[in-house]
Amino acid sequence: MDDTLDAALRSLSTASDQLNTNSNILNVAIGEVQAALQKFNLGVEARVEIASTGDEMYQKVYELGYGKGESGKWVLLLVTYISEDPDTTWNEQALLEAPRDWRIAAVDKIPVLIQKLVDQVNKSATEAATKAAKAKQIAASITRKGR
C-alpha cells in the first residue's frame, strides 16, 4: 500500500467516525422534537414539502410530515410519492428510520411543519367548537321532544 492510499484511508476513517457521531446526535435531536410534539396530543396530521425531483412529466415529491406511523404512534414522517400517481406510489416511513440525507434535509422544514400543525390545530378546534354547539342544540331538541 502506498503512503497516499494509507493517508486517504486514515482520513476516511476519521471522517466516517465524525459522520456517524454527528448522525447519532442528529437522531437524538430529531427524537427530542418528536417527543415534544407527541406531548401535545394533537391528533392532527400535516405535511410540508422538503424537495421534489424530476421534470414536468415525472415529479418525485419528498415531504416532512407528522402523523400516525406504522406503529400507531404519532411520529415525524418522511413521505415520498410520484406526483402524477400518488395513490400507487405513496410511501411513509418514520423520519428516524429514513436515509440520513433526508433526515438532514428535513430539519430545516421542522419550523414550517410546526406552523402548519398550528394552523391545522386551530382549524380543528374551531370546527370542534362549532360542531359541539350544533350537537348541544340537537340534544336539547331531542330532550324537549322526548318529554
Q: For 4-18, write each residue's pLDDT tens digit.
A: 999 999 999 999 999
- CA-closest candidate to residue 47, choices 85, 86, 84: 86
What's the confidence (pLDDT) of residue 145? 81
Write down the number of H helices and E strands in the chain: 4, 4
* Total domain count, the chain: 1
Q: How confident is the model at residue 104 (pLDDT cuts 50, 70, 90)?
A: very high
- In this prediction, residues 60-73 reach a mean pLDDT of 96
Rounded to an integer, the average pLDDT of 70-96 is 96
Domain that holds residue 38: 3-145
**Reported pTM:** 0.89
Helix (H, G, I), strand (E, B) or coil at 41: coil
Query: All 3 cell numbers of residue 78?
Result: 418522511
Would you tell me how many other CB atoms lie within 10 Å of the CB of residue 27? Answer: 15
* 3-state SS class at 53: strand
Residue 1 above 80 pLDDT? no
Is the distance from CB of 103 to CB of 30 less than 8 angstroms?
Answer: yes
**Separation between Cα atoms, residue 97 and residue 112, nearest integer Å:** 21
User: Which of 25-29, 54-58, 111-115, 137-141 has the lowest average pLDDT?
Assistant: 54-58
pLDDT at 147: 65
102: confidence class by pLDDT, cuts 50, 70, 90? very high
Whole-number average pLDDT of the chain: 95
Per the DSSP assignment, residues forming a β-bridge with 64 are 48, 78
